[in-house]
Protein backbone atom coordinates (compact mmCIF):
# COMPACT_ATOMS: atom_id res chain seq x y z
CA UNK A 1 0.00 0.00 0.00
CA UNK A 2 2.84 2.38 0.85
CA UNK A 3 4.37 1.78 -2.58
CA UNK A 4 1.13 2.66 -4.33
CA UNK A 5 0.77 5.89 -2.34
CA UNK A 6 4.42 6.75 -3.01
CA UNK A 7 4.04 6.10 -6.75
CA UNK A 8 0.87 8.17 -6.83
CA UNK A 9 2.65 11.08 -5.09
CA UNK A 10 5.56 10.88 -7.53
CA UNK A 11 3.22 10.73 -10.51
CA UNK A 12 1.26 13.78 -9.33
CA UNK A 13 4.39 15.80 -8.60
CA UNK A 14 5.89 15.01 -12.02
CA UNK A 15 2.68 16.06 -13.75
CA UNK A 16 2.63 19.28 -11.73
CA UNK A 17 6.05 20.25 -13.07
CA UNK A 18 5.63 18.97 -16.60
CA UNK A 19 6.78 21.14 -19.44
CA UNK A 20 4.24 23.15 -21.32
CA UNK A 21 2.84 22.12 -24.68
CA UNK A 22 4.96 23.74 -27.42
CA UNK A 23 1.99 24.85 -29.54
CA UNK A 24 0.48 26.65 -26.55
CA UNK A 25 3.83 28.29 -25.81
CA UNK A 26 4.02 29.52 -29.41
CA UNK A 27 0.56 31.02 -28.98
CA UNK A 28 1.67 32.67 -25.72
CA UNK A 29 4.78 34.16 -27.33
CA UNK A 30 2.71 35.55 -30.20
CA UNK A 31 0.06 37.00 -27.87
CA UNK A 32 2.66 38.57 -25.58
CA UNK A 33 4.11 40.62 -28.43
CA UNK A 34 7.69 39.72 -27.56
CA UNK A 35 8.42 38.65 -31.13
CA UNK A 36 7.11 41.97 -32.40
CA UNK A 37 9.69 43.70 -30.21
CA UNK A 38 12.47 41.82 -32.02
CA UNK A 39 11.05 42.92 -35.37
CA UNK A 40 10.79 46.50 -34.12
CA UNK A 41 14.47 46.49 -33.18
CA UNK A 42 15.38 45.19 -36.63
CA UNK A 43 13.19 47.87 -38.25
CA UNK A 44 14.88 50.61 -36.21
CA UNK A 45 18.29 49.38 -37.29
CA UNK A 46 17.20 49.13 -40.93
CA UNK A 47 16.19 52.81 -40.88
CA UNK A 48 19.85 53.66 -40.38
CA UNK A 49 20.79 51.88 -43.61
CA UNK A 50 20.54 53.15 -47.15
CA UNK A 51 17.20 52.39 -48.82
CA UNK A 52 18.98 49.99 -51.20
CA UNK A 53 20.23 47.84 -48.31
CA UNK A 54 17.10 47.73 -46.14
CA UNK A 55 15.39 44.80 -47.81
CA UNK A 56 18.58 42.74 -47.90
CA UNK A 57 19.17 43.50 -44.24
CA UNK A 58 15.66 42.39 -43.31
CA UNK A 59 16.11 39.20 -45.34
CA UNK A 60 19.40 38.49 -43.54
CA UNK A 61 17.75 39.16 -40.17
CA UNK A 62 14.94 36.61 -40.70
CA UNK A 63 16.97 33.54 -39.62
CA UNK A 64 18.26 35.40 -36.57
CA UNK A 65 14.74 36.49 -35.59
CA UNK A 66 13.44 32.93 -36.10
CA UNK A 67 16.27 31.62 -33.92
CA UNK A 68 15.43 34.15 -31.21
CA UNK A 69 11.76 33.14 -31.34
CA UNK A 70 12.70 29.45 -31.03
CA UNK A 71 14.98 30.22 -28.08
CA UNK A 72 12.15 32.08 -26.35
CA UNK A 73 9.69 29.25 -27.01
CA UNK A 74 12.17 26.68 -25.72
CA UNK A 75 12.90 28.70 -22.60
CA UNK A 76 9.22 29.21 -21.76
CA UNK A 77 8.46 25.55 -22.51
CA UNK A 78 11.09 24.45 -20.01
CA UNK A 79 10.26 26.96 -17.29
CA UNK A 80 6.47 27.22 -17.36
CA UNK A 81 3.96 24.50 -16.65
CA UNK A 82 1.06 23.84 -18.98
CA UNK A 83 -1.29 25.39 -16.44
CA UNK A 84 0.82 28.56 -16.22
CA UNK A 85 0.93 28.87 -20.01
CA UNK A 86 -2.84 28.44 -20.22
CA UNK A 87 -3.35 31.10 -17.53
CA UNK A 88 -1.05 33.51 -19.34
CA UNK A 89 -2.83 32.89 -22.65
CA UNK A 90 -6.13 33.58 -20.91
CA UNK A 91 -4.68 36.80 -19.49
CA UNK A 92 -3.32 38.00 -22.85
CA UNK A 93 -6.72 37.40 -24.43
CA UNK A 94 -8.48 39.46 -21.76
CA UNK A 95 -9.62 43.06 -22.33
CA UNK A 96 -7.19 44.26 -19.64
CA UNK A 97 -4.19 42.69 -21.37
CA UNK A 98 -5.28 44.02 -24.76
CA UNK A 99 -5.46 47.52 -23.28
CA UNK A 100 -2.09 47.03 -21.59
CA UNK A 101 -0.51 45.93 -24.88
CA UNK A 102 -1.97 48.97 -26.65
CA UNK A 103 -0.68 51.33 -23.95
CA UNK A 104 2.71 49.61 -24.03
CA UNK A 105 2.92 49.95 -27.81
CA UNK A 106 1.92 53.61 -27.67
CA UNK A 107 4.56 54.23 -25.02
CA UNK A 108 7.19 52.60 -27.23
CA UNK A 109 6.21 55.01 -30.02
CA UNK A 110 6.42 58.00 -27.67
CA UNK A 111 9.72 56.77 -26.30
CA UNK A 112 11.21 56.29 -29.77
CA UNK A 113 10.18 59.84 -30.67
CA UNK A 114 11.98 61.12 -27.58
CA UNK A 115 14.98 58.83 -27.93
CA UNK A 116 17.00 61.28 -30.02
CA UNK A 117 16.80 63.90 -27.28
CA UNK A 118 17.69 61.24 -24.70
CA UNK A 119 20.69 60.10 -26.75
CA UNK A 120 21.88 63.71 -27.04
CA UNK A 121 21.65 64.11 -23.26
CA UNK A 122 23.61 60.90 -22.72
CA UNK A 123 26.28 62.04 -25.17
CA UNK A 124 26.61 65.30 -23.25
CA UNK A 125 27.23 63.40 -20.02
CA UNK A 126 29.70 61.03 -21.72
CA UNK A 127 31.63 63.96 -23.15
CA UNK A 128 31.86 65.48 -19.69
CA UNK A 129 33.76 62.45 -18.44
CA UNK A 130 35.90 61.90 -21.52
CA UNK A 131 37.54 65.31 -21.37
At 67, the pLDDT band (50, 70, 90 cuts) reads: very high
Supply the pLDDT for residue 90: 95
Q: Is residue 7 part of a domain?
A: no
CA pair distance 127, 131, nearest whole angstrom: 6
Same domain, 100 and 88: no
Which of 7 and 78 is assigned the larger pLDDT? 78
Answer yes or no: is pLDDT of 6 > 70: no
Answer yes or no: is pLDDT of 11 > 50: no
At 12, the pLDDT band (50, 70, 90 cuts) reads: very low
Same domain, 99 and 88: no
Same domain, 89 and 31: yes
Same domain, 87 and 36: yes
What does the chain look like in DSSP terms, one character per residue?
Answer: -HHHHHHHHHHHHHHHTPPPPHHHHHHHHHHHTHHHHHHHHHHHHHTTS-HHHHHHHHHHHHHHHHHHHHHHHHHHHHHS-HHHHHHHHHHHTSHHHHHHHHHHHHHHHHHHHHHHHHHHHHHHHHHHHH-
pTM of the entire structure? 0.63
Task: Give mean pLDDT, residues 71-90.
Answer: 94
Amino acid sequence: MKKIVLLLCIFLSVNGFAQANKSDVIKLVELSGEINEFYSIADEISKQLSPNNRESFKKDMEPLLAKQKNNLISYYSQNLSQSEVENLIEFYQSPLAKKFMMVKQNYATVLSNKSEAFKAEIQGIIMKYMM
